[in-house]
Amino acid sequence: MKKLILLAAVCALLPPLAAQAQTPVTAAQDQQALLKSGGPLQVANKTMVYNFWREVFVAGDMTKLDGYMAEGYIQHNPLVANGREPFRAFFSRINPTPKPVQPIIADLVNIMADRDNVVLAFRRELPNPREPGKTYTTTWFDMFRIEGGKLAEHWDYGTLPPAAPAAAR
């Protein structure tokens, strides 16, 4: 009990967490260097995911999808169904007109590979709910499993949006 009282007293003397400075998340300065680390399999897998992200996901060029994604692609994001064709349909609605491919991925913090898995880490800037009008940075992760040289499975922090109010349905 004495330890609990002492811990409470120490916590009361500390500044609130909101007052402590956060180290902002920053994007990688040299994305090409990120692609070069690891053995030949890791380099190939990272390069494939990196190019998929730039050419298909960001630029929206669904004509290149077959070269990157397995037909039986498994999707763990609750907003997109499994399979290459459901992916194509979903992202074609979001991005109906392809854009030019950019040489880098905006806000990419790191790209890591281990065996057949590749993880992209991104910087995200969000509204600060504790300080209206201000923002804070955090991270977002996408992970892919590669099989036979193509994307076979994907994980991210995809969440379902709140249900529409009954009157709007």
Please report whether residue 127 resides in a domain: yes
The pLDDT of residue 2 is 59
Q: What's 133's DSSP letter?
A: T
The pLDDT of residue 166 is 75
Please report whether residue 91 resides in a domain: yes
Lowest mean pLDDT, pick from 2-6, 25-29, 94-98: 2-6
Burial class (CB in 10 A: 0-12, 13-18, 19+), 97: exposed
The pLDDT of residue 161 is 86
The residue written with tokens 């169904």 in the block is 81
Model confidence at 49: pLDDT above 50: yes
Lowest mean pLDDT, pick from 7-16, 37-46, 140-149: 7-16
Model confidence at 89: pLDDT above 80: yes
Please report whether residue 57 resides in a domain: yes
Model confidence at 18: pLDDT above 70: no
Please report whether residue 10 resides in a domain: no
Please report whether residue 150 resides in a domain: yes
Q: Which domain holds residue 64?
A: 22-158
Burial class (CB in 10 A: 0-12, 13-18, 19+), 88: middle
Q: What is the pTM of this model?
A: 0.83
Pairing of strands 150-156, 135-147: antiparallel
Q: 159 pLDDT band (50/70/90 cuts)?
A: confident
- pLDDT tens, residue by residue, 54-65: 999 999 999 999
Please report whether residue 168 resides in a domain: no
Q: What CATH number has the domain bearing residue 99?
A: 3.10.450.50
Residue percentage of the chain with pLDDT more than 90 = 79
The pLDDT of residue 28 is 96
Q: What's 130's DSSP letter?
A: T
Lowest mean pLDDT, pick from 63-72, 86-95, 128-137, 160-169: 160-169
Q: Which residues are CB-contacts of 81 (< 8 A; sequence separation ≥ 6)?
A: 75, 87, 90
Count of domains forming the chain: 1
Q: What mean pLDDT, rounded, does the chain reach?
A: 89
Please report whether residue 41 resides in a domain: yes
In the numeric block, which tokens belong to residue 103? 């040489």
Please report whether residue 75 resides in a domain: yes
